[in-house]
């Protein structure tokens, strides 16, 4: 199988390429050479690669940046995904599109399953929901994979932020009313490779099992890194001003992939392994 990955230099793109290994012929593109917002450029790159499957990882994931510039968020995550979908149609390739729990509003006190309608509450979520719309309406063969709170070595993410604060000895204030699923990039990549091999197209939720608040997540990071004595003050989102407003309760339920035998381990186990490997 030939696989082309957009955003192949990003944390998920690199991990996916490694997980596929010799099981697939993996190529890909990333900025500045390949820009998904350039219709002709991304089409030329995908058609030249002759892929069986395109994995669309490239995105603007700076949530606060998207709130400050919603037009740019749509240009990259909506229009850019439209370009990738059209390129896949021209190349005769299936598409596996990476999306997010932030396509949901977070007002319900339950986890979201794959058949719940998107209802984003911020520009990042809206732009990713727009990308999903283009995938669903332009292609017959696609996977949409939603994930949440992804962390990986070397990237800007919540785990990195908490560890940096702990290393500096800074007291923390962490919100209790934002709840979702922490997800380790290694586990997500392995699950995506397994899912792609099934050929069962559709919408899927892939996160590490279990849910927690940002506050609980931070306390677990500190406990596993020997900083459990660092003061952590629980606060509400309203007490943490930021450009974007994340959905308050948006964990994802893995209903569809689990039916195919594709599941991810509990988030606590994944976090412990991550911190052991990258301590």
Domains in the chain, start-ordered, CATH in brackets?
A: 2-154+183-209+252-264 (3.40.50.720)
> Residue 75: is its pLDDT beyond 80?
yes
The C-alpha atoms of residue 46 and residue 92 are separated, in whole angstroms, by 10
Contact 149, 221 (CB under 8 A): no
pLDDT in tens, 125-144: 999 999 999 999 999 999 99
Please say whether the dihedral angle defined by the alpha carbons of residues 189, 194, 199 and 203, taken in this order, is positive or negative.
negative
Q: For residue range 59-73, what is the model confidence (pLDDT) as tens digits?
A: 999 999 999 999 999
- Name the token pair of 14: 């690199």
Summarize pLDDT for 212-268 with one digit per residue, the tens. 999 999 999 999 999 999 999 999 999 999 999 999 999 999 999 999 999 999 999
Place of tokens 């406990």: 223
Question: Any idea which residues carry the catalytic annotation?
Answer: 124
């Amino acid at each position: 199988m030939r696989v082309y990955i957009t955003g192949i230099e990003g944390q998920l793109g690199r991990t996916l390429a490694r997980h596929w290994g010799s099981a697939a012929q993996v190529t890909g593109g990333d900025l500045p050479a390949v820009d998904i917002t350039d219709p002709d450029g991304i089409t030329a790159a995908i058609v030249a690669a002759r892929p069986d499957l395109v994995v669309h990882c490239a995105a603007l994931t700076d949530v606060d940046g998207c709130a400050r510039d919603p037009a740019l968020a749509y240009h990259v995550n909506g229009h850019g995904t439209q370009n990738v979908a059209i390129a896949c149609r021209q190349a005769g390739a299936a598409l596996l599109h990476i999306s997010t729990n932030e396509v949901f509003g977070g007002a319900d006190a339950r986890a979201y399953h794959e058949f719940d309608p998107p209802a984003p509450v911020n520009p990042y979520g809206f732009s990713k929901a727009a990308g999903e719309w283009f995938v669903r309406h332009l292609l017959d063969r696609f996977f949409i994979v939603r994930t949440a709170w992804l962390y990986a070595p070397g990237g800007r993410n919540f785990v990195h932020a908490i560890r940096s604060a702990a290393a500096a000895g800074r007291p923390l204030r962490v919100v209790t009313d934002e709840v979702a699923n922490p997800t380790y990039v290694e586990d997500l990549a392995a699950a995506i490779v397994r899912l792609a091999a099934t050929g069962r197209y559709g919408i899927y939720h892939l996160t590490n099992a279990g849910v927690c608040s940002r506050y609980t997540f931070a306390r677990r990071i500190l406990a596993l890194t020997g900083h459990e004595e660092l003061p952590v003050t629980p606060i509400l989102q309203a007490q943490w001003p930021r450009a974007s407003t994340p959905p308050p309760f948006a964990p994802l339920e893995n209903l569809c992939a689990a039916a195919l035998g594709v599941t991810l381990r509990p988030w606590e186990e994944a976090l412990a392994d991550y911190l052991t490997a990258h301590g």
